[in-house]
Amino acid sequence: MAKLVRLDKFLCDMELGTRSEVKAFLKKGFVTVDGIIEKSPDFKIDPDTHEIAFQGKVLTYQEFYYYMLHKPAGVITATEDKVQKTVMSFLGEDARKDLFPVGRLDKDTEGLLLLTNDGELSHAILSPRKHVPKTYFVEVPEKLDLGQIEALEQGVDIGDDKKTIPAKVEIIDDTHIHLTISEGRYHQVKRMLKAVGSEVLYLKRISFGALTLDGSLEKGSYRALTEEEITALRNK
């Protein structure tokens, strides 16, 4: 069954303007549907089959947007802030009012962050029931001993109602590890390392569910997800 939407809503979704601005554009005859000027805001269209043009330029409808950002340290994971710089500031011309970060990374944490306007996908990924794995590259002051590693992999008390879900530790060298967790508690990685008598000197998220940070992305850079990545996220 065709998905019909109001013409003015479609134009607003394309971010051509506010609802009142869009109605003014329609009244002036700036919009055509299949080559015919349409001035009615409540005219129903099917974005998949109708050709909508604004001042002669055909508009390609896209309902959801997905971006991978390599978050640098020093910016906060929020849609807006009156004082501090947010992750949304890196999107430039791709910035949309309905985009938001999925989950959060602390201000001093770097790495993979997903930005989207797909609320359903975000909810599914962040649901505690899903236990979506997140892997971090962690720098520690000194090599973790076997007892510390076993504690992390069995679950540790970080001061919450219950211990953390068992994590996975991969030793890279004496001062670097990969730590994979499947929860999203506040400052979780830092609290876990503190619980075993260590600390985090540097933290970078390198994977999130089916997504792996693109090695070609510099800090502060982003790109749209591929169709394969979007499909993998939805099927995770």
The amino acid at 10:
F
CB of 2 within 8 A of CB of 48?
yes
In sequence order, what E strands does the chain have?
Answer: 5-6, 31-33, 36-37, 44-45, 52-54, 57-59, 66-71, 100-101, 110-116, 134-139, 168-173, 176-181, 202-208, 211-212, 222-224
Closest CA to 206 of 225, 187, 179: 179
The amino acid at 224:
A
Residue 68: φ, ψ to 5°? -100, 125
Torsion of CA 178, 200, 195, 176, to 10 degrees: 30
Annotated catalytic residue: which of 106, 108, 118, 157?
Answer: 106
**34 vs 22, 38, 97, 159, 236, CA distance in Å?**
18, 9, 28, 61, 39
**42 has catalytic annotation:** no
DSSP H or E stretch at residue 20: helix 19-27
d(CA 189, CA 184): 9
Closest CA to 113 of 231, 234, 223: 223
Q: Give the residue numbers annotated as catalytic, written as ranges.
A: 106
